[in-house]
Structure 1
Amino acid sequence: MMVQPIENRAGLECRPIGPPAPGPAPDWSTQTVRVERVTELSGWANLLAEAVGREYTAIVPPHLAPALAAESVWHVEAELVGPHRIAITGLASDLEDGPADEE
Protein backbone atom coordinates (compact mmCIF):
# COMPACT_ATOMS: atom_id res chain seq x y z
CA MET A 1 0.00 0.00 0.00
CA MET A 2 1.46 3.36 -1.02
CA VAL A 3 0.85 6.45 1.05
CA GLN A 4 0.66 9.83 -0.63
CA PRO A 5 2.35 12.51 1.51
CA ILE A 6 0.40 15.70 2.14
CA GLU A 7 2.20 18.87 1.14
CA ASN A 8 2.25 20.92 4.29
CA ARG A 9 3.98 23.92 5.79
CA ALA A 10 3.63 26.09 8.89
CA GLY A 11 5.42 28.97 10.51
CA LEU A 12 7.15 27.93 13.72
CA GLU A 13 8.73 29.68 16.64
CA CYS A 14 10.94 27.12 18.34
CA ARG A 15 13.91 26.85 20.67
CA PRO A 16 16.88 24.64 19.87
CA ILE A 17 17.77 22.15 22.61
CA GLY A 18 21.34 20.90 22.88
CA PRO A 19 23.98 20.91 20.17
CA PRO A 20 23.31 20.15 16.49
CA ALA A 21 24.06 16.67 15.18
CA PRO A 22 25.01 15.41 11.71
CA GLY A 23 22.12 15.33 9.27
CA PRO A 24 20.89 12.94 6.60
CA ALA A 25 23.29 14.25 3.94
CA PRO A 26 26.71 15.96 3.83
CA ASP A 27 26.60 19.48 5.36
CA TRP A 28 23.03 19.00 6.62
CA SER A 29 22.36 18.90 10.36
CA THR A 30 19.65 17.91 12.79
CA GLN A 31 18.64 19.78 15.89
CA THR A 32 16.16 18.96 18.64
CA VAL A 33 13.73 21.85 19.02
CA ARG A 34 10.79 22.64 21.29
CA VAL A 35 7.91 24.31 19.43
CA GLU A 36 6.56 27.41 21.17
CA ARG A 37 4.22 28.83 18.53
CA VAL A 38 2.64 27.67 15.27
CA THR A 39 1.33 30.01 12.58
CA GLU A 40 -0.73 28.87 9.60
CA LEU A 41 0.64 29.76 6.19
CA SER A 42 -1.92 30.57 3.53
CA GLY A 43 -2.25 27.91 0.86
CA TRP A 44 -0.66 25.10 2.88
CA ALA A 45 -2.07 22.31 5.02
CA ASN A 46 -0.98 22.84 8.64
CA LEU A 47 -0.05 19.44 10.06
CA LEU A 48 1.77 21.08 12.98
CA ALA A 49 -1.23 22.81 14.59
CA GLU A 50 -0.91 20.64 17.73
CA ALA A 51 2.90 20.94 17.97
CA VAL A 52 3.12 23.65 20.66
CA GLY A 53 5.02 22.37 23.68
CA ARG A 54 6.34 19.30 21.89
CA GLU A 55 9.87 18.40 20.86
CA TYR A 56 10.79 17.57 17.26
CA THR A 57 13.95 16.67 15.41
CA ALA A 58 14.51 19.46 12.88
CA ILE A 59 16.38 18.71 9.65
CA VAL A 60 18.37 21.82 8.73
CA PRO A 61 19.70 22.40 5.19
CA PRO A 62 23.25 23.73 4.81
CA HIS A 63 22.22 27.17 3.53
CA LEU A 64 20.16 27.88 6.71
CA ALA A 65 22.49 26.39 9.34
CA PRO A 66 24.73 29.49 9.75
CA ALA A 67 21.78 31.84 10.29
CA LEU A 68 20.06 29.52 12.75
CA ALA A 69 23.23 28.66 14.69
CA ALA A 70 23.38 32.17 16.15
CA GLU A 71 19.71 32.29 17.18
CA SER A 72 18.30 31.26 20.57
CA VAL A 73 14.78 31.27 19.14
CA TRP A 74 14.10 30.18 15.57
CA HIS A 75 11.41 31.77 13.41
CA VAL A 76 11.15 29.40 10.49
CA GLU A 77 8.89 27.79 7.96
CA ALA A 78 8.83 24.02 8.30
CA GLU A 79 7.01 20.93 7.13
CA LEU A 80 6.17 17.76 8.99
CA VAL A 81 8.10 14.93 7.32
CA GLY A 82 7.70 12.10 9.83
CA PRO A 83 6.72 11.33 13.39
CA HIS A 84 8.26 14.09 15.54
CA ARG A 85 10.43 15.11 12.56
CA ILE A 86 10.28 18.41 10.68
CA ALA A 87 12.26 19.84 7.77
CA ILE A 88 13.16 23.53 7.93
CA THR A 89 12.26 25.08 4.57
CA GLY A 90 13.05 28.74 5.17
CA LEU A 91 13.40 31.63 7.59
CA ALA A 92 10.28 33.52 8.64
CA SER A 93 11.52 36.34 10.83
CA ASP A 94 8.20 38.18 10.58
CA LEU A 95 6.24 35.59 12.62
CA GLU A 96 6.20 37.87 15.69
CA ASP A 97 3.57 39.98 13.94
CA GLY A 98 1.37 37.00 13.08
CA PRO A 99 0.23 35.86 9.64
CA ALA A 100 0.43 38.46 6.88
CA ASP A 101 -3.21 37.92 5.93
CA GLU A 102 -4.56 38.63 9.45
CA GLU A 103 -6.68 41.77 9.71
Structure 2
Amino acid sequence: MKQNVRDAMHPHQLERDSDRGFEPTVDEHLRLGRFIAALDQASESELRQIAKMMAQQVLMTYPAAMRWLAKEAARNLGGGAWREEASERLLEALQSPANEGRSYE
Protein backbone atom coordinates (compact mmCIF):
# COMPACT_ATOMS: atom_id res chain seq x y z
CA MET A 1 0.00 0.00 0.00
CA LYS A 2 1.34 3.45 -0.86
CA GLN A 3 2.67 5.60 1.96
CA ASN A 4 0.21 8.46 1.25
CA VAL A 5 -2.78 6.12 1.71
CA ARG A 6 -1.30 4.83 4.99
CA ASP A 7 -0.64 8.39 6.18
CA ALA A 8 -4.21 9.46 5.33
CA MET A 9 -5.56 6.60 7.44
CA HIS A 10 -3.43 7.31 10.55
CA PRO A 11 -2.47 10.99 10.83
CA HIS A 12 -1.86 12.92 14.04
CA GLN A 13 -5.21 13.52 15.80
CA LEU A 14 -6.09 17.11 16.70
CA GLU A 15 -7.65 17.39 20.14
CA ARG A 16 -11.22 18.57 20.64
CA ASP A 17 -12.01 21.57 22.80
CA SER A 18 -15.32 20.07 23.92
CA ASP A 19 -17.07 16.73 23.80
CA ARG A 20 -19.73 16.76 21.10
CA GLY A 21 -20.51 13.07 21.08
CA PHE A 22 -20.85 11.64 17.60
CA GLU A 23 -20.34 14.92 15.76
CA PRO A 24 -17.21 14.65 13.58
CA THR A 25 -14.35 16.97 14.44
CA VAL A 26 -12.66 19.28 11.94
CA ASP A 27 -9.66 16.94 12.05
CA GLU A 28 -11.87 13.98 11.12
CA HIS A 29 -13.26 15.91 8.14
CA LEU A 30 -9.71 16.76 7.05
CA ARG A 31 -8.64 13.14 7.49
CA LEU A 32 -11.53 12.00 5.30
CA GLY A 33 -10.54 14.49 2.61
CA ARG A 34 -6.91 13.29 2.66
CA PHE A 35 -8.05 9.67 2.57
CA ILE A 36 -10.33 10.28 -0.42
CA ALA A 37 -7.54 12.12 -2.25
CA ALA A 38 -5.20 9.18 -1.57
CA LEU A 39 -7.83 6.73 -2.84
CA ASP A 40 -8.05 8.68 -6.09
CA GLN A 41 -4.34 7.97 -6.61
CA ALA A 42 -4.44 4.28 -5.54
CA SER A 43 -4.18 1.36 -7.94
CA GLU A 44 -6.95 -1.23 -8.33
CA SER A 45 -4.96 -3.73 -6.24
CA GLU A 46 -4.49 -1.18 -3.45
CA LEU A 47 -8.20 -0.32 -3.53
CA ARG A 48 -9.09 -4.01 -3.09
CA GLN A 49 -6.68 -4.31 -0.16
CA ILE A 50 -8.14 -1.19 1.47
CA ALA A 51 -11.72 -2.43 0.91
CA LYS A 52 -10.88 -5.74 2.63
CA MET A 53 -9.28 -3.98 5.59
CA MET A 54 -12.23 -1.61 5.98
CA ALA A 55 -14.73 -4.47 5.69
CA GLN A 56 -12.96 -6.31 8.51
CA GLN A 57 -13.09 -3.19 10.68
CA VAL A 58 -16.73 -2.38 9.97
CA LEU A 59 -18.12 -5.93 10.01
CA MET A 60 -15.98 -7.51 12.75
CA THR A 61 -13.82 -5.18 14.83
CA TYR A 62 -16.27 -2.32 15.45
CA PRO A 63 -19.23 -4.52 16.49
CA ALA A 64 -16.99 -6.52 18.84
CA ALA A 65 -15.59 -3.31 20.32
CA MET A 66 -19.09 -1.89 20.81
CA ARG A 67 -20.23 -5.07 22.59
CA TRP A 68 -17.19 -4.93 24.88
CA LEU A 69 -17.76 -1.22 25.61
CA ALA A 70 -21.45 -1.87 26.36
CA LYS A 71 -20.50 -4.66 28.79
CA GLU A 72 -17.94 -2.43 30.50
CA ALA A 73 -20.46 0.41 30.77
CA ALA A 74 -23.02 -1.97 32.29
CA ARG A 75 -20.44 -3.26 34.78
CA ASN A 76 -19.55 0.28 35.80
CA LEU A 77 -23.14 1.49 36.08
CA GLY A 78 -23.80 2.72 39.56
CA GLY A 79 -20.13 2.92 40.43
CA GLY A 80 -19.88 -0.49 42.06
CA ALA A 81 -20.30 -4.19 41.64
CA TRP A 82 -23.81 -5.36 40.84
CA ARG A 83 -25.67 -7.51 43.30
CA GLU A 84 -26.24 -11.06 42.09
CA GLU A 85 -30.01 -10.46 42.01
CA ALA A 86 -29.67 -7.35 39.83
CA SER A 87 -27.29 -9.15 37.47
CA GLU A 88 -29.74 -12.03 37.10
CA ARG A 89 -32.65 -9.67 36.37
CA LEU A 90 -30.61 -7.86 33.71
CA LEU A 91 -29.60 -11.17 32.13
CA GLU A 92 -33.25 -12.31 32.07
CA ALA A 93 -34.30 -9.04 30.44
CA LEU A 94 -31.60 -9.37 27.78
CA GLN A 95 -32.62 -12.98 27.10
CA SER A 96 -36.33 -12.16 26.84
CA PRO A 97 -38.23 -12.96 23.62
CA ALA A 98 -38.11 -9.26 22.67
CA ASN A 99 -34.32 -9.58 22.33
CA GLU A 100 -34.34 -12.98 20.61
CA GLY A 101 -31.67 -13.33 17.95
CA ARG A 102 -29.42 -10.62 19.39
CA SER A 103 -25.99 -11.55 20.71
CA TYR A 104 -24.55 -9.89 23.80
CA GLU A 105 -21.55 -12.21 24.17
TM-score after normalising by structure 2: 0.23
- Structure with greater contact order relative to length (CA < 8 Å, sep ≥ 6): 1
Structure number having the greater strand percentage: 1
Structure number having the greater helix percentage: 2
| Structure with larger Rg | 2
